[in-house]
Structure 1
């Protein structure tokens, strides 16, 4: 189920970026209406330890120096300039096809995907020499358009969208800086959804940006091809599960559970009448589940059952007869965006 939700999240987040627009942590505190421990994994070293106002983030964010573009490996859809010294008629600008090949004069198709530009240059030189076309060819390959490897940055950033990855990986703060930094209403945190999850790393990975900036450890989290970076907004709550409009909503002073469900279009016919769960983020960054909330009582105006929501609360309306198996960032996102898409991963 976690893998399925992660896949849904990646598609939804990227779709949002093209429309212009958690890591779970252990639970120590519970609240009645039959609280139970929230399952999850330990937070990463940079996970949020305390709420920090958005003013705690410098603007612009200090971007870490990117890695050398020399380690970039070519991928389908990249456009490359192939220059043959002293042979202008052999110089070409070509795009790598879906099979990873380019077509050049005399030597025909050459497989270059997965190679660095230096390796591709050497391979073309060898083909020209072995074919007897040139005695001592000197070839330079450079990337003119990076289209093969991309990542997405969405949420409370100034320019959400997909961006080319010009190296094998890039620091998280550099990725956010590419999106022109965070907005004033941004949470001081980011969620990284891996296209290819790392062993032993929570998915999604929650990172405290303030801690990262203060520590100077800007290379501790690296963004790779196909990754999605999500920066949440302050004063936001989420509704997921059996409601008509799953997604993120703006928290108001008087937002209660019943108003949240109403704003989400109401519960569907499949909703369980006594299976509402509110997942709340504590000041320490830990999660607690508030469970056993009766949907009928809430919607009928029972003030005891109708909780007042807090920022970053996740309301989960479970289907009848089903067990609550997932919640949080991974779960709510699947309803925020309905257009399927993907970031190229090679």
Structure 2
């Protein structure tokens, strides 16, 4: 009936077949917000809209509805004559269909196109054997929050990480949690290319602890981009620059001493104390001979090295404090 009325108006007035001004089917005010039919996208479907996303809406021949919209914190957008619409949780195709259903009640034969033009920040949780577990936020400028990038943003993996069993948990729109496992050891070992897997807002990454039967070369992992760029080692005692130093994760204890400026002339390098906290939280101490500044012990975050002073140097230091620099040498010759 509405289409026939519109056709008669066009014939009488000589107007174009479709006017630029929307023709209202009824003038009743629309309540705000309007509920949308919720379509539950599968975990592997297209990009799901969320608060902060920017979209463009185009309705053919009805410019009043065209323009860019940003999803509000409550996940809604606002359009003329329609009011507030819930858009979060839908794909752009689903939102297009929902808008078309709503506009069919207001205008004639609307053709709606929705495009994603700006991505919201993606918040992802990273836990387990990483240096800095916790939530991580990404500016998803290219639409892809990479699994490797997410682990790197958490400071990289620890020495005890099992990268062959990395798990990604995702909650779907119906509240169910799905899980996928990724073998990143094959990526590090150049057996396969990284899988093109897109992380989504709310995903949780879990890096499990390495077990005894895992076939992983820790040194090769430490040299990979998954590891931290550096680990913290404290070197104290007879080194040029004592204190905390940043050591490459595949570095040795000797390299930590070298980064600290190397040993002083008074260093007793055959009795270097090495302290490390084990997996049970207990501090273990060993005495190492590092006179050649060469060893195969791979550093770990939190290691402590104590470089002692030679006994002769200690004696001279003690005498100097007691007698003063000149008095000590006088007493050596006078016997007092």
TM-score by length of 1: 0.41
Structure having the higher Rg: 2
**TM-score, length-scaled by structure 2:** 0.42
